Amino acid sequence: MGKETFRLKKAGWLVLCLAGLCLFSVLLLQAGKIRAEAETMTTEVATTESKEQTLDASTTQQAISPSITFSKKKKSLKAGKSFRFQVKTVGITDKVTFKVSDTKLAKINSSGKLTALRTGKVKVIAIAGEYSASVSVTIKPKKIVALDPGHSAKMTGGTEPIGPGSSVKKAKDATGTRGVSSGQMEYELTMKLARKMKPLLEDKGYQVVLTRSNNKKAISCVERAKVANKAGADIFIRIHADGINNASVSGASALYPSSRNPYVGKLSSKSKKLSSCVLNAMCKKTGAKNRGLVARDDLSGSNWAKMPVTLIEVGFMTNPEEDKKLAQNSYQDKLAKGMVQGIEAYFGY
């Protein structure tokens, strides 16, 4: 009986041991599975984070893509005026420099300050390393000047009203005078002067309109004024030379409408100022005798004008000595420059 009991106890312990081993094995397998799942999740999280980091890096790289843009700009600017262009850069460390597409039209300094010189279209270009940006700028004239080279080789013939609505008529044009020493016709001299003045004025930022471009065109005095009116000119300069049956008379003068003029009396004050500025500057430049200002209300070319107007008599072609000067290219240059200086003085530039 004692031995049998011992054997049963021993078998019980063996069963318990086997059960413990089985349980331990199950626990080990479960722990391994849990560890494997944890490792898998860690890998997946790491992969996701890596993808997110890559995406963030890509997005950040796109956000800071190098660029240069204008933060302060103008699309138009009057000749003679200045404006400072400014740019904004992103992701660029190079210094920004500026240039213009045409230095005849405008100039720009290192800080982006653009100064408009003459009418036209120009590009302002900002450069930083390999990157650049540009903007187009239209340069507008500071003023419009109409130049009327007096007379022409071809006559229109007939008459026309001396002023708008007037029943009084006068010849549409005349042949003008002729140089007693040079044989030069007045219309030839006035055309030369207008052609010399045009580029001088354009270089200073003016837009220039000529009532005629050659000596073969027939155009009346009223038609000349209408050319200036249609162009929206700010001033009207009528260029002429004098003539008289007294060879000793010399000098320059300027004709303007009086305040009593029934057609353009309201323009008298400004026309007188214009006449004074142009005549004085021209005489100062050439040394010509200044005969002063003369009020005239019988000039159809002036009476039809809608802006300040002056008729400049540059000298007497009937005076032998003065006529010789008027035929000289160098003296004509002085006349043209003097009149341009007078125009600048009138506008206050």
The confidence band for 155, taking pLDDT boundaries of 50, 70 and 90, is confident
User: Higher model confidence: residue 189 or residue 13?
Assistant: 189
Boundary residue ending a domain (116, 140, 164): 140
- Evaluate if residue 48 carries a pLDDT over 80: no
In a domain, 17, yes or no: no
Q: What is the pTM of this model?
A: 0.79
In a domain, 303, yes or no: yes
Q: Looking at residue 119, what is its pLDDT?
A: 95
The confidence band for 45, taking pLDDT boundaries of 50, 70 and 90, is very low
Q: Residue range 182-191: average pLDDT? A: 98
Rg (CA), the chain: 45
Three-state SS for 232? coil
**Angle (nearest 5°) at CA 193 between 190 and 194:** 85
Boundary residue ending a domain (117, 140, 163): 140
Q: Looking at residue 37, what is its pLDDT?
A: 60
Q: Residue range 260-289: average pLDDT? A: 98
The verdict on 99 and 194 lying in the same domain is no
Query: Could you tell me the CA-to-CA distances from 202 to 80, 100, 261, 281, 334 in Å, in that order?
Result: 11, 19, 32, 19, 17
The verdict on 161 and 282 lying in the same domain is yes
The verdict on 110 and 153 lying in the same domain is no
- The CATH number of the domain holding residue 128 is 2.60.40.1080
Lowest mean pLDDT, pick from 21-30, 98-107, 148-157, 205-214: 21-30
In a domain, 216, yes or no: yes
The verdict on 186 and 208 lying in the same domain is yes
The DSSP bridge partners found for residue 96 are none
Q: Looking at residue 145, what is its pLDDT?
A: 98
In a domain, 1, yes or no: no
In a domain, 13, yes or no: no
Which structural domain range is residue 136 located in? 67-140
Q: Are 238 and 301 in contact (CB under 8 A)?
A: yes
- Evaluate if residue 205 carries a pLDDT over 90: yes
Boundary residue ending a domain (140, 165, 189): 140
Half-sphere exposure for 97 (CA within 13 Å, toward CB): 4
In a domain, 251, yes or no: yes
Q: Which two tokens stand for residue 260?
A: 């009593």
The verdict on 286 and 335 lying in the same domain is yes
The confidence band for 152, taking pLDDT boundaries of 50, 70 and 90, is very high
Q: Looking at residue 57, what is its pLDDT?
A: 46
The verdict on 95 and 150 lying in the same domain is no
Give residue-wise pLDDT tens across range 284-339: 999 999 999 999 999 999 999 999 999 999 999 999 999 999 999 999 999 999 99
In a domain, 287, yes or no: yes
Give residue-wise pLDDT tens across range 71-80: 999 999 999 9
In a domain, 187, yes or no: yes
Give the count of domains, the chain. Answer: 2
Q: Looking at residue 175, what is its pLDDT?
A: 86
Q: Looking at residue 197, what is its pLDDT?
A: 98
Lowest mean pLDDT, pick from 28-32, 194-198, 203-207, 238-242: 28-32
Q: Residue range 144-149: average pLDDT? A: 98
The verdict on 91 and 232 lying in the same domain is no
